[in-house]
Amino acid sequence: MVFLPAEHPLTRALTERDFTDPTEVQSAVLESAAKDRDLLVSAQTGSGKTVAYGLAIASTLLGDALTLEPAAEPLALIVAPTRELALQVHRELTWLYQYAGGQVVSCVGGMDPRAEQRRLAKGAHIVVGTPGRLRDHLERGGLSVARLKAVVLDEADEMLDLGFREDLEFILEATPQDRRTLLFSATLPKAIVTLAKQYQRDAWRIAVSAGQQGHADIEYRATLVAPNEIEHAVVNVLRFIEAPTALVFCNTRDAVRHLQAILLERGFSVVALSGELSQNERNQALQALRDGRARICVATDVAARGIDLPNLDLVIHAELPQNPQILQHRSGRTGRAGRKGVSILLVLLSRRRRAEMLLQSAGIRASWGGAPSVEDIRKLDQERLLQSPFLTEDLSDDDMAMAKALLAERSAEDIAAALVRMYRSHLPAAEEVFDPGAGAAAAREPREFREPRGPREPRAEKHLPGQGVWFRLNVGRLKNADPRWLIPMICRQGKITKQEIGMIRILERETRIEIDAQVAERFAAAVALIERAEVRIEPLGTPPAESGPGEPRKAKAGDHPARPAIKERWKTKQAGWQKKKPN
C-alpha cells in the first residue's frame, strides 16, 4: 500500500525522507473507512503516530487541492503534553507539509508568548502547542479557532496523567462542533474513553497491538546489581555497549544531578534533562545530543516525555520505573523507525521480585544477567581496536615513512603498547563490579509461563535455619550491636539481600550470622575484598552449638532489638496480676 498518490505534495516530502513502507498505524489511518471521520487510536510510542495524524488530516485540510490557501486563521490544532513533544511535532509537520505550503506555528510553555502571538497574527495553517499555553492564547484572544477543521490530541493519556483535563475540555469546548477530532493514546483507560465519548462523533477505533509495535525492535535485558553499585553498573554498560546515543533514566531530579556528575567525572560526554531546567537549557541539551557534542542523556520521566533523538540505540533504567506504562514509555525512546534498540533494567538484588512483576505486567520477556565486568570490557576494547580505522584504512606514503622511522628507533612491542595507551586514554575507565553469580542471574519464569505444580508436589523452602554457613562479626553487645544497623551493613558489604540472612546471634564481644548456603561463597568473596572495614566479617569455621538456657537468644533478621525486654516486663506484670487475684 502506498502512502498517497504520487502527485500529492506529502508524497514528495515522504520520498525525500526515505519513507517507503507505512507503519501499521499509518496504514490504518489511510484506510477508506477512516477517511474524514473522528479517530480513536491506541498505539505505542515509536509507532509513527506523528506522521500518521499528519497524513490523516491532509484530506481535511487540502481537499482536492495540492497546496494550501495563504495562511490566515489556523485550520488544525495539535495538542501535546510536553514542550519537547510539541516542538518535535512542529518539526515533523513542517517538513511533511513543506511542499503543500503549510505554515506551522508552535505555542509552548517556556517560550516568549508575545513572539508566539506575532507569529499567530501573521497566519498559520497548523498550530501545535501544550494545553496550558494554548488555553492562555485562547483566553487572551491571540488564537482564533473559528476556522478549525481538525483537532488532534497526541498522547492523551499522558495529558490526563499530568492534570490537563480541565485545559483540554476548555480547548475542545471552544472549537467548532463540526471539527474532526483525532485522539491518539498509548493506552485507553476509562478517563480517555469518557473523554472520547464526550467530544467525538462516531469515532473509528484503531488499535495497534503493543506486541507488534511496542517491543518488536527492542531487546530487553535485566541486569542484577549488588547494593551501592548502580553507578558502577551504568558506567560499565555504557562502556560495553557503545551506542551513538544513550538515554539513562532516574526517578528524581537529585538522582539525575548525582549520576550526571559521576559520568562527567569518568570522562563521558553527558547532558541532563529534568523539570528544574529552563526551556533554553533543555533545548541546548537536546541540541548537543543531536549534533554529537554529547552522547549520553540522564533524564527524569517528565523531562524525557516525547523526545525523539537520532541514533538512540540504548536505554538504561538506572532506577526501576513505577509501573509498566512508564517502562514502555521509557523503552519506546529507542527501537524507532525500524532501528534496533536495547533497553536495560538495572535491578538491585533486593528488588528482583519487583522487577519480575513489572516485566510480567508489561508482557515483556527479558534476559537476565550481571553487569559487564572489567575483563569483558577490556576484551571488547581489544576487538574494537583491531577493527579501528587506524588499523584498517589504507596508509599514505607519509604514514609509512613515519612508521619505518619509528620501527628504526623502537621495537614493534613498544609501538603497539603506545598505540594501546593512546587508544585507552580516550576511554572512561571501567569499574569493578561484583558478580552476582550464575545462580543469582538465572532467569525465573513469570507465573503465567510456569508449568502447573502437581497437587502432591511439596513446596521447597527457600532457606532452612541451621543449614546455612556461619560467619563472625567483630562486634557484640559491648559495641551496641543491633540488627537494625547490622543487617543493612551485612547486605552492603556482602552484596546479598536481607532474605539471604538466617539466624543472628549477638554475643558479648562478637556476633554470629547465618548466610544462605547458596550465596555463602559469593558472600565470603565480597567481604574479603574489604580492606579497612570498621566491622570485620570472616568465616566462623564450624557451626555454633545450639544455645542453652544461659546463652543468648537466637535472633532472626528483622527482629526488634527490644523484644526480649518487652517480654520480661510482660511476665512481671502477669506475675503481679496473679498475686492480686482473690483466692
127 and 79 housed in the same domain = yes
Q: What residues form DSSP beta bridges with 205?
A: 40
Q: What residues form DSSP beta bridges with 312?
A: 245
Q: Is the pLDDT of residue 1 over 50?
A: no
In the 8-state DSSP scheme, what is residue 498? Answer: G
* 583 is a domain residue: no
Q: How far apart are CA 328 and CA 337, in angstroms?
A: 16
520-540 residues labelled b (16+ CB within 10 A) or e (exposed): bebbbebbeeeeeeebebeeb
189-216 residues labelled b (16+ CB within 10 A) or e (exposed): eeebeebbeebbeebbebebebeebbbe
CATH code: domain of residue 479: 3.30.70.330
Listed in sequence order, the residues at least 6 apart from 199 whose beta carbon sits closer than 8 Å to its beta carbon are 172, 181
Mean pLDDT of 416-438: 80
pLDDT classification of 573: cutoffs 50, 70, 90 = low
pLDDT at 213: 43
Q: How far apart are CA 166 and CA 151, in angstroms?
A: 16
> Which three three-digit cell numbers place residue 121?
497574527
* 547 is a domain residue: yes
Measured CA to CA in angstroms, residue 196 lies from 40, 44, 60, 199, 427 at distances of: 7, 18, 20, 5, 52
Residue (of 82, 99, 85, 81) closest to 16 by Cα position:
99
pLDDT at 484: 87
Listed in sequence order, the residues at least 6 apart from 121 whose beta carbon sits closer than 8 Å to its beta carbon are 142
367 and 231 housed in the same domain = yes
* 444 is a domain residue: no
127 and 247 housed in the same domain = no
Give the β-pairing of 296-299 and 270-273: parallel
> Which three three-digit cell numbers place residue 395?
596508509
The three-state secondary structure class of 49 is helix
User: What is the DSSP track for 403-460?
Assistant: HHHHHHHS-HHHHHHHHHHHHHHTSPPP-------HHHHS----GGGSPPPPTTPPPP
pLDDT digits (tens, 9 = 90+) for 280-309: 888 888 889 888 899 999 999 876 666 777
* 432 is a domain residue: no
66 and 173 housed in the same domain = yes
Listed in sequence order, the residues at least 6 apart from 203 whose beta carbon sits closer than 8 Å to its beta carbon are 37, 38, 39, 40, 181, 183, 196
Residue 545 sits in which domain range?
469-568
Per the CB < 8 A criterion, the answer to whether 500 and 519 are in contact is yes
Which residue, 178, 212, 246, sits at the end of a domain?
212
The residue ranking higher by pLDDT, 245 or 467, is 245
* 255 is a domain residue: yes
Q: Is the pLDDT of residue 465 over 80?
A: no
For CA atoms 250, 184, 95, 217, give the dihedral sign.
positive
Q: Is the pLDDT of residue 336 over 80?
A: no
The residue ranking higher by pLDDT, 394 or 118, is 118
50 and 91 housed in the same domain = yes
pLDDT classification of 456: cutoffs 50, 70, 90 = very low
pLDDT at 180: 95
Measured CA to CA in angstroms, residue 555 lies from 350, 463, 465, 501, 505 at distances of: 21, 15, 11, 11, 6
Residue (of 286, 288, 283, 336) closest to 312 by Cα position:
336
> Which three three-digit cell numbers place residue 167?
485545559
Which residue, 159, 181, 212, sits at the end of a domain?
212
Q: Is the pLDDT of residue 247 over 90?
A: yes
* 457 is a domain residue: no
Mean pLDDT of 537-549: 67
The three-state secondary structure class of 287 is helix
397 and 347 housed in the same domain = no
Per the CB < 8 A criterion, the answer to whether 253 and 275 are in contact is yes
* 170 is a domain residue: yes
Specify the number of domains making up the chain: 4
The three-state secondary structure class of 18 is coil
Per the CB < 8 A criterion, the answer to whether 540 and 472 are in contact is yes
In this structure, which amino acid lies at residue 558? G
219 and 205 housed in the same domain = no
Give the β-pairing of 245-249 and 104-107: unpaired
159 and 225 housed in the same domain = no
pLDDT digits (tens, 9 = 90+) for 494-514: 888 888 888 899 999 999 999
pLDDT at 553: 46
Which residue, 166, 196, 212, sits at the end of a domain?
212
pLDDT classification of 412: cutoffs 50, 70, 90 = confident
10 Å Cβ neighbour count for 176?
Answer: 11
The three-state secondary structure class of 77 is strand
Which segment, 251-265, 323-337, 382-396, 549-563, is predicted with the most confidence on average?
A: 251-265
> Which three three-digit cell numbers place residue 574?
502477669
402 and 498 housed in the same domain = no
pLDDT at 315: 95
Lowest mean pLDDT of 65-79, 82-96, 190-204, 489-503, name the range: 489-503
The three-state secondary structure class of 199 is helix
Q: Is the pLDDT of residue 516 over 60?
A: yes
328 and 287 housed in the same domain = yes
Count of alpha carbons within 13 Å of 293, Cβ hemisphere only?
A: 7
The residue ranking higher by pLDDT, 330 or 565, is 330
Helix ranges restricted to H, 125-275: 131-140, 156-161, 165-174, 190-199, 210-213, 230-240, 253-266
The three-state secondary structure class of 151 is strand
Per the CB < 8 A criterion, the answer to whether 511 and 475 are in contact is yes
Q: How far apart are CA 525 and CA 521, in angstroms?
A: 6
Measured CA to CA in angstroms, residue 492 lies from 150, 503, 552 at distances of: 57, 18, 26
pLDDT digits (tens, 9 = 90+) for 166-202: 999 999 999 999 999 999 987 788 888 899 999 999 8
Per the CB < 8 A criterion, the answer to whether 347 and 224 are in contact is yes
What is the average pLDDT score of the chain? 83
pLDDT classification of 458: cutoffs 50, 70, 90 = very low
Q: How far apart are CA 151 and CA 134, in angstroms?
A: 12
Q: Is the pLDDT of residue 447 over 50?
A: no
pLDDT classification of 441: cutoffs 50, 70, 90 = low
Q: Is the pLDDT of residue 381 over 90?
A: no
Per the CB < 8 A criterion, the answer to whether 39 and 182 are in contact is yes
408 and 389 housed in the same domain = yes
Per the CB < 8 A criterion, the answer to whether 188 and 158 are in contact is no
350 and 491 housed in the same domain = no
The three-state secondary structure class of 188 is coil
pLDDT digits (tens, 9 = 90+) for 12-56: 999 988 887 888 889 899 898 898 899 999 887 667 889 999 999
pLDDT at 570: 60
* 113 is a domain residue: yes
Per the CB < 8 A criterion, the answer to whether 330 and 322 are in contact is no
